[in-house]
């Protein structure tokens, strides 16, 4: 009863912000993302009578506290689904900074769900896997799929899951991931920050009202491979989300000085004839969206700026999958 899964992080083009149901993690709005190959999680799960309690090891350290409890709660959900009671050992590794606004929980819970279901012998469709994964981390339901993915808030029957809008071969977009901060720990987790914003920001309702139009534009941009439309809408939605965070009580600022410098640099790159647009999740780091023919020129410009700690170039990736190389 052992399996290992690989899942990739996803970059939200239209953000998920606010929950209609906290327990089931049903979102207030649909969201759209791209699954990217350079940021990934590998997770091995083994269920066995030899374990007297669940063990979770993340990046070579035994997890405790909230991180541990979230994994145990998710294992309980999957055990209930399989009608099993065995305890588990979970070993997981991210190849990128954790809890830094790079969607580590998305790849993490997608990998955990796929590996645990395989270890338990649960035969689930990708849609069913996305519904299970969603209950561990909302955005992880999108990492079950590759390419361009939409998380549907409610399909009319009360079900919420992700669907693939187009696969990873549909359009060769590039995501230049800019690591601007590697160590800063946020005051609030993404989940806590979202809860505060929904309850206290006067801009939350305005952002929600603008989302349907942005979703329609994003779907059209993907269908027509309209990069200018995709980038413009992604950047706008990102700024709307951060406006909500800034006007929450207490207010939340995820950016550092390096983030702001980079935000100012992006329009300058466009003026130089280098099409690129930024998006930022709940952290200081940034995703820079562009097309393959402009990537090298943009990288040459970025290398002039020493406040950028690390640059990771990503392409679109496939969905979460079982692999044969176990972590233990």
- Which CATH number covers residue 165? 3.30.230.10
Cα separation, 64 vs 199, in Å, equals: 29
- Domain residues for the domain of 275 are 174-314
Same domain as 230, residue 133 = no
**DSSP character at residue 203:** T
Is the pLDDT confidence value at 223 over 90?
yes
Residue with the two structure tokens 């969905």: 319
- 247: tokens are 């006007």
Chosen domain end from 135, 152, 170: 170
Residue with the two structure tokens 């009202």: 209
Residue 152: the pLDDT is 98
Cα separation, 8 vs 197, in Å, equals: 27
Is the pLDDT confidence value at 182 over 90?
no
Residue 99: the pLDDT is 66
CA distances from 229 to 13, 148, 235 (A): 11, 15, 10
Chosen domain end from 170, 202, 217: 170
Q: Are 42 and 57 within 8 A, CB to CB?
A: no
Domains: count for the chain:
2
For range 55-72, the mean pLDDT? 96
Residue 203: the pLDDT is 97
Cα separation, 70 vs 320, in Å, equals: 20
Give tens-digit pLDDT for 183-199. 766 677 778 888 999 99
Residue 184: the pLDDT is 63
Give tens-digit pLDDT for 127-163. 999 999 999 999 999 999 999 999 999 998 989 999 9
Same domain as 272, residue 212 = yes
Q: State the pairing for strand pair 19-21/31-47.
A: unpaired
Chosen domain end from 170, 189, 218: 170
Three-class SS state of 315? coil
Residue 284: the pLDDT is 92
Cα separation, 223 vs 219, in Å, equals: 6
Same domain as 259, residue 159 = no
Same domain as 24, residue 123 = yes
Residue 188: the pLDDT is 77
Find the range with the poorest average confidence among 230-234, 237-241, 251-255, 270-274.
Answer: 251-255
CA distances from 32 to 91, 109, 232 (A): 29, 18, 14
The per-residue pLDDT of the chain, averaged, comes to 95
Dihedral of CA atoms 71, 77, 82, 83 in degrees, nearest 10, equals: 110
């Amino acid at each position: 009863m052992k399996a290992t899964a690989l899942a990739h992080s996803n970059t939200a083009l239209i953000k998920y912000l606010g929950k209609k149901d906290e327990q089931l993690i049903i979102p207030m709005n649909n969201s759209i993302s791209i699954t990217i190959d350079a940021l990934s999680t590998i997770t091995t799960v083994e269920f066995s009578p030899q374990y007297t309690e669940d063990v979770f090891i993340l990046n070579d350290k035994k997890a405790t506290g909230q991180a541990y409890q979230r994994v145990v709660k998710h294992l309980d959900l999957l055990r209930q689904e399989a009608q099993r009671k065995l305890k588990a050992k979970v070993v997981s590794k991210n190849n990128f900074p954790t809890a830094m606004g790079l969607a580590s929980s998305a790849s993490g819970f997608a990998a955990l769900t796929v590996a645990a279901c395989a270890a338990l012998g649960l035969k689930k469709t990708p849609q069913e896997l996305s519904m299970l994964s969603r209950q561990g981390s909302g955005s992880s339901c999108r990492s079950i799929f590759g390419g361009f993915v939409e998380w549907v808030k409610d399909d009319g029957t009360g079900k919420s899951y992700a669907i693939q809008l187009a696969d990873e071969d549909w359009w060769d977009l590039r995501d230049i991931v800019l690591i601007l901060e590697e160590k800063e720990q946020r005051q609030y987790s993404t989940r806590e920050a979202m809860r505060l914003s929904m309850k206290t920001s006067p801009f939350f309702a305005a952002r929600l009202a603008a989302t349907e139009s942005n979703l329609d534009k994003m779907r059209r941009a993907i269908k027509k491979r309209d990069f200018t439309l995709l980038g413009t809408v992604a950047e706008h939605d990102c700024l709307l989300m951060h406006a909500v965070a800034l006007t929450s009580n207490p207010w939340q600022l995820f950016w550092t000085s390096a983030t702001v410098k980079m935000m100012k640099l992006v329009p300058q790159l466009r003026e130089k004839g280098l099409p690129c647009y930024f998006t930022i999740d709940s952290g200081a780091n940034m995703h820079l969206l562009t097309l393959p023919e402009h990537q090298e020129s943009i990288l040459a410009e970025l290398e002039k700026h020493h406040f950028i700690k690390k640059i990771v170039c990503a392409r679109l990736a496939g969905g979460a999958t079982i692999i044969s190389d176990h972590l233990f």
